[in-house]
């Protein structure tokens, strides 16, 4: 907004470094800062067919973006960003696999997301970030924790998206109680069954799009 106006701080600094002489005042410049990307990957048993592809996508994201963070969740929460910083994909995924203790188990999506938000260092990763949750969101039992967690995430994030492989079926509708509860706070509810479509989606996160609830009301 202030681009083109006098940048007094830089101008004075230049005057001092040039012993009081400056040919022309310096103007403010627009700074481009990459937005943070936070990937939360469901590694429960119901997501077993997609976990490997999601981790490869996460590795590419960490390698290609300076401000990407990756966590897995099932019955517990695990940060795997440091493992995915290893350049070799095979070595990175092997290291990540060694860190995660809840492969192919159950899902406690609500409690694990609340645990994420309860740690200030972790919740800071979500502030102003594009948050993408890769999960079928098949929460068992009471979904009140999940609804609370999603509302808190939405309040912190620049954009909150759920990519579910279930949406790859043309007959899919957000009909479960958990999905209906979280739909109003989601910016995007998309097909997570294809790595290529997920890649296209992540690369498009900087562009505005209609809210998820608006799109799915039209479909329904």
Percent of the chain whose pLDDT exceeds 90: 71
- 30-40: per-residue pLDDT in tens? 777 788 999 99
Residue 42 structural domain: 37-219
Domain shared by 195 and 112, yes or no: yes
Count of domains for the chain: 2
Q: How far apart are CA 110 and CA 169, in angstroms?
A: 25
Domain shared by 129 and 154, yes or no: yes
Q: Which comes out higher in pLDDT, residue 29 or 47?
A: 47
Rounded to the nearest 10 degrees, how much is the dihedral formed by the CA atoms of 26, 32, 33, 34?
-160
pTM: 0.86
- 111-138: per-residue pLDDT in tens? 999 999 999 999 999 999 999 999 999 8
Domain shared by 83 and 2, yes or no: no
The pLDDT assigned to 4 comes to 65
Which two tokens mark 201?
A: 């989606």
Domain shared by 24 and 87, yes or no: no
Domain shared by 136 and 83, yes or no: yes
Which two tokens mark 118?
A: 């309860």
Q: How far apart are CA 16 and CA 19, in angstroms?
A: 5
Read off the pLDDT band of 58 (50, 70, 90): very high
- Asked whether 155 and 127 are in contact (CB, 8 A), the reply is no
- 71-106: per-residue pLDDT in tens? 999 999 999 999 999 999 999 999 999 999 999 888
């Amino acid at each position: 907004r202030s681009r083109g106006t006098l940048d007094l701080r830089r101008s004075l600094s230049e005057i001092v470094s040039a012993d009081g002489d400056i040919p022309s005042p310096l103007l403010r410049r627009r700074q481009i800062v990459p937005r943070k990307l936070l990937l939360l990957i469901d590694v429960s048993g119901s997501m077993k067919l997609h976990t490997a592809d999601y981790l490869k996508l996460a590795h590419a994201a960490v390698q290609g973006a300076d401000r990407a963070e990756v966590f897995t969740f099932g019955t517990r929460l695990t940060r795997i960003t440091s493992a995915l910083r290893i350049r070799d994909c095979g070595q990175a995924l092997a290291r990540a696999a060694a860190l995660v203790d809840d492969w192919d188990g159950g899902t406690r999506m609500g409690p694990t997301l609340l645990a994420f938000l309860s740690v200030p260092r972790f919740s800071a990763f979500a502030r102003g970030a594009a948050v993408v949750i890769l999960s079928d969101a098949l929460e068992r039992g009471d979904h009140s924790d999940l609804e609370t967690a999603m509302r808190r995430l939405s309040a912190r994030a620049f954009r909150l998206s759920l990519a579910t492989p279930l949406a790859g079926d043309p007959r899919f509708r957000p009909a479960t109680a958990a999905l209906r509860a979280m739909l109003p706070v989601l910016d995007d509810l998309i097909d997570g069954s294809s790595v290529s479509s997920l890649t296209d989606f992540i690369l498009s996160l900087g562009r505005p799009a209609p809210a998820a609830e608006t799109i799915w009301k039209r479909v329904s």
